[in-house]
């Protein structure tokens, strides 16, 4: 079913993002999860070009899934005032 593959895909991408921050960039982002609603929020205290590249890579994967499965995935982005 579509929702199962989307859930698995999003989970893998979010785990990849977490690994990218912690293991590759040595950064601990602030996170908030609402499993009931399927909501995840990540905030990087000091964004830079490396964190932006990592975010944009994962967002690209999420957008591709959103296009394929629009009934199961909606991406909401909040912009920061911080300049990179």
Domain boundaries, the chain: 2-68
Distance, in Å, from the CA atom of 66 to the CA atom of 72, rounded to the nearest integer, reads 8
Distance, in Å, from the CA atom of 69 to the CA atom of 38, rounded to the nearest integer, reads 15
What does the pLDDT read at residue 84?
Answer: 43
What does the pLDDT read at residue 81?
Answer: 59
What does the pLDDT read at residue 23?
Answer: 94
What does the pLDDT read at residue 45?
Answer: 82
Enter the pTM of the model.
0.76
How many other CB atoms are there within 10 angstroms of residue 6's CB atom?
Answer: 19
What does the pLDDT read at residue 38?
Answer: 74
Positions of the chain with pLDDT under 50: 83-84
Q: What is the DSSP letter of 23?
A: I
Tokens standing for 42? 């990540």
């Amino acid at each position: 079913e579509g929702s199962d593959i989307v859930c698995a895909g999003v989970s893998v991408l979010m785990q990849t993002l977490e690994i990218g921050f912690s293991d590759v960039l040595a950064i601990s982002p602030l996170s908030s999860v609402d499993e009931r609603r399927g909501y995840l929020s990540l905030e990087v205290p000091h964004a830079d070009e490396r964190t932006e590249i990592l975010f944009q890579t994962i967002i690209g994967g999420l957008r591709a899934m959103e296009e394929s499965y629009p009934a199961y995935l909606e991406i909401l982005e909040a912009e920061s005032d911080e300049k990179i």
